[in-house]
Amino acid sequence: MRNIQVNGDRLWRSLMEMAEIGATPKGGVCRLALTDLDRDGRRLFIRWCEEAGCQVRIDRMGNIFARRPGRNPDAPAVMTGSHLDTQPTGGKFDGAYGVLAGLEVVRTLNDLGYETEAPIEVVVWTNEEGSRFSPAMIGSGVYAGVFSLDEGLATPDNVTRVTMGAELQRIGFAGSEPCGGRKVAAYFEAHIEQGPILEAAGKPIGIVEGAQGQRWYEITVTGQEAHAGPTPMRRRKDALVGAARMIDAVNRIGHAHPPYACATVGFVQVGPNSRNTIPGRVFFTVDFRHPEDAVLTEMDRELREACREAARSAQVEVEVKEFWYFPPTPFDKDCVAAVRRAAEAQGYASQSIISGAGHDAVYMARVAPTAMVFVPCKDGISHNEVEDAKPEDLSMGCTVLLNAILERANAPAEGARR
């Protein structure tokens, strides 16, 4: 039985109901990782999965696995999923779409009484966004062996310093299942593109060939606090002036490697943050991205040189710390082909694309054959409360997800990479 289509209206209703948890006045969603709102979203997802007959398990990083049995209980599962945590000014679709598209796959197969050879598991990964707890993708990162369980649990909230482990305990999602180490037949993730390419091309489906590499930095600039009045300009060690020159350099480095380089400063703390005291300390973050590792390395070199020069000219000290790195990640060719076949079988217009954003699929690609399917979002905007997508695109993406999953869930169990 091929070319099954999902129930797009049911998917949309689920997305809208999930979006009510953490809804913001501007129509977005704020459901930061491991807050009570994240807990409430997780509980709603689990209730829906149990109503759909899934067996739900939670691992020690709070990752949730909703399993739909197949004919062969010993066959490695085909996994799909994403995340329910959001940015502070997030939208209704980033993450939630991939989770609820996975649930819609299960619901559609239930409607048809369709039994797959291998089990299917829908996953919610803990702390994909990396906003409250940094870096990003910690739940999938521990699952894939990129971070140790202890590192993951010890990761502190960027402001309050409460740890992920303590928050998992507090919200009741400190599971008992080991994190990772299980065979996985394949992993597919559906996501909005979060950029302008598919919408501009008029294509409802993106066949994601891989994701660009990322480098995150933490930069501390140290000057000298002094009085804003009696301190002559030439004697100042103004940490904010030094940081401002560095932040401008970050932007110039991004523009210096067109068309793909991305360079962002999204988090800045100034101390003592008093109107009439010269800032003595500035902490800020840098997010670099590029699809080629060599260019990421060159951007690193340029950043360190610019920071040294800005520190010299502003008479301050600077510490540049690389906080997180993952290389450009190609997805599994057979899984990418399965996504492409599923789109073509439906007659959906599609194009290949590289993901500008990081996703849990990037880490899952280290332990299982992995691919993603993208759908457009309005004006290419995401990580913004106005984030929007068309119900028909979301439905088409979910149908592609379903048929790609079926291809792998019914393939002879060729064993799976750990």
Binding site for ligand HGY (CB under 6 A): 128-130, 136, 357-358
Residue 177 contacts by C-beta under 8 Å, 6 or more apart in sequence? 57, 58, 59, 60, 65
Q: Identify which of residues 97 and 284 has a Cβ nearer to Mn ion in the complex.
A: 97
Residue 32 contacts by C-beta under 8 Å, 6 or more apart in sequence? 38, 85, 86, 88, 129, 131, 132
95 scored as a contact of Mn ion (CB under 5 A): yes
Binding partner of 186, given Mn ion, ligand HGY, none, CB within 5-8 angstroms per partner class: none
- Separation in Å, CA 283 to CA 89, 115, 267, 272: 22, 54, 8, 11
Q: Which pair of structure tokens corresponds to residue 107?
A: 């619901």
Q: Identify which of residues 129 and 193 has a Cβ nearer to ligand HGY in the complex.
A: 129
Binding partner of 95, given ligand HGY, Mn ion, none, CB within 5-8 angstroms per partner class: Mn ion
Size of the chain, expressed as the number of residues it contains: 418
The interface with Mn ion within residues 51-90 (CB under 5 A) comprises none
Binding partner of 85, given Mn ion, ligand HGY, none, CB within 5-8 angstroms per partner class: none
Q: Identify which of residues 70 and 95 has a Cβ nearer to Mn ion in the complex.
A: 95
- Separation in Å, CA 380 to CA 225, 375, 388: 42, 10, 9
Q: Identify which of residues 144 and 240 has a Cβ nearer to Mn ion in the complex.
A: 144
Task: Identify the three-state secondary structure at position 24.
Answer: coil
CA nearest to 45, candidates 119, 103, 90: 103
Q: Identify which of residues 236 and 359 has a Cβ nearer to ligand HGY in the complex.
A: 359
Task: Identify the three-state secondary structure at position 121.
Answer: strand
Binding partner of 136, given Mn ion, ligand HGY, none, CB within 5-8 angstroms per partner class: ligand HGY
Binding partner of 130, given ligand HGY, Mn ion, none, CB within 5-8 angstroms per partner class: ligand HGY
104 scored as a contact of Mn ion (CB under 5 A): no
Minimum Å distance from CB 129 to Mn ion?
Answer: 5
Minimum Å distance from CB 145 to Mn ion?
Answer: 21
CA nearest to 277, candidates 231, 232, 318: 231
For the chain, the distance separating the N- and C-terminal CA atoms, rounded to the nearest angstrom, is 30
CA nearest to 100, candidates 190, 29, 5, 207: 190
- Judged by CB under 5 A, the stretch of 71-79, 94-102, 115-123, 138-146 that binds Mn ion is 94-102
Binding partner of 279, given ligand HGY, Mn ion, none, CB within 5-8 angstroms per partner class: none
Q: Identify which of residues 130 and 223 has a Cβ nearer to Mn ion in the complex.
A: 130
Type of residue at 252: R
Minimum Å distance from CB 383 to Mn ion?
Answer: 6
Question: What residue is closest to ligand HGY based on CB?
Answer: 357
Q: Identify which of residues 314 and 375 has a Cβ nearer to ligand HGY in the complex.
A: 375
Which 8-state DSSP code applies to residue 207? E
91 scored as a contact of Mn ion (CB under 5 A): no
94 scored as a contact of Mn ion (CB under 5 A): yes
Count of residues engaged in binding Mn ion, rule: CB under 5 A: 2
In degrees to the nearest 10, what's the CA dihedral of 295, 298, 302, 305? 160
Q: Rounded distance, CA 94 to CA 55, Å?
A: 25
Minimum Å distance from CB 263 to ligand HGY?
Answer: 13
Minimum Å distance from CB 142 to ligand HGY?
Answer: 16
The contact set with Mn ion (CB under 5 A) reads 94-95
